[in-house]
Amino acid sequence: MLSRTASHLYWMARYIERAETTARLMQVGARNALLPDIGGGYRNDWEAILQASGSLEPFREKYGETKQRNLETFLFFDEENPASVRSCLARARENARVVRTALTSQTWDAMNSTFQELNQLHRTERSKLSLTDLAEWTSNACALARGSIEATQLRNDGFHFMGLGFTLERADNTARLLDVKYYVLLPSLTYVGSGLDQTQWVTLLRSMSAHRAFQWTYRGEITAARIAHFLILNRQFPRSLLTAVQGTCDNLDHLARGYQNPSEAQSAARRILAELAEARVEDIFDEGLHEFLTRFMRQNAGIAGIVQDTYLTGEPA
């Protein structure tokens, strides 16, 4: 397969995943804004949200104040914000368009109709669109794309490059969401276990569509340790770091098998997987959750770098 084709497939998947994450962040922000703050008034977590999507600075430059209406515009519609849902889905569709020959018509259909609907939404009067609707629309659009890929694409190398895009981006995004919560919203460990913390953690779970899943899995009190375990080490939760890295390993193994040529990316991914498989929550808290997450994001980006060099440039290995 052409390296450029593989690259477009890979990025298409990354952008789909990223769009979904932005939509989740929007939901967290909106929900948090409804919660009373400890010091009176309401909480304003938007800065943390923007920081997580790496767009606090551009937002300040463009809009100044963190008003909810501005935030919605910025996170959903703003084409100048590379992390906005619109930017991500437009890019995903653009990547798809270039490699039409590598996609089934269902997958293309999903990408294309999503884009048409997005333009429709853009033309709709803003007062008629609730943030929740926008976020839900995004999850549905992404589920449609994912479902079409899963149900119709050949299990060839292209499929696994898309798979890699999803799993690498997801691992990164989960780590980021978790990091916002811990690092920015909870600067001091002494808050852990307080009543306020509880609602924040629940918000985090909700943002991952994992609130009920958590209850089913742990059937008990929500503690920081349990949540960390759930989001990082749980093999059942589809967005946990361990599950995502497992997915990355699987995709890399498929590629290596198909090409009959093992890759460095495989060993790098296996190293992370081995570490997560052994890890206990206590170890992570000892290292410091933020430190652990930072290290993880760096390692995950490292795999992406090797994938880029090995497969996506077309240079002789």
Residue 126 has a CB neighbour count (10 Å cut-off) of 12
Minimum gap (Å) between residue 106 Cβ and another protein: 10
Minimum gap (Å) between residue 108 Cβ and another protein: 7
Minimum gap (Å) between residue 141 Cβ and another protein: 17
- In the bound state with another protein, the residue whose beta carbon lies nearer, of 4 and 60, is 4
- In the bound state with another protein, the residue whose beta carbon lies nearer, of 114 and 243, is 114
Minimum gap (Å) between residue 261 Cβ and another protein: 7
CA distance 246 to 296: 14
Start-to-end C-alpha separation, the chain: 15
Minimum gap (Å) between residue 152 Cβ and another protein: 14
**Nearest 5°: CA angle at 186, between 49 and 244?**
60
CA distance 317 to 309: 8
Tokens of residue 16, six digits: 């789909």
**Nearest 5°: CA angle at 306, between 83 and 5?**
65
- In the bound state with another protein, the residue whose beta carbon lies nearer, of 237 and 311, is 311
Minimum gap (Å) between residue 150 Cβ and another protein: 20
* List of E strands, 84-217: none
The footprint of another protein (CB under 8 A) covers 1-6, 94, 97-98, 100-101, 105, 108-109, 112, 157, 161, 255, 259, 261, 311-317
CA distance 243 to 270: 13
CA distance 196 to 183: 15
- In the bound state with another protein, the residue whose beta carbon lies nearer, of 112 and 217, is 112
Total residue length of the chain: 317
- In the bound state with another protein, the residue whose beta carbon lies nearer, of 152 and 209, is 152
Among 238, 246, 210, CA closest to 226: 210
- In the bound state with another protein, the residue whose beta carbon lies nearer, of 9 and 49, is 9
- In the bound state with another protein, the residue whose beta carbon lies nearer, of 14 and 229, is 14
CA distance 196 to 76: 28
Report whether 95 contacts 12 (CB < 8 A).
yes
CA distance 75 to 82: 9
Minimum gap (Å) between residue 126 Cβ and another protein: 23
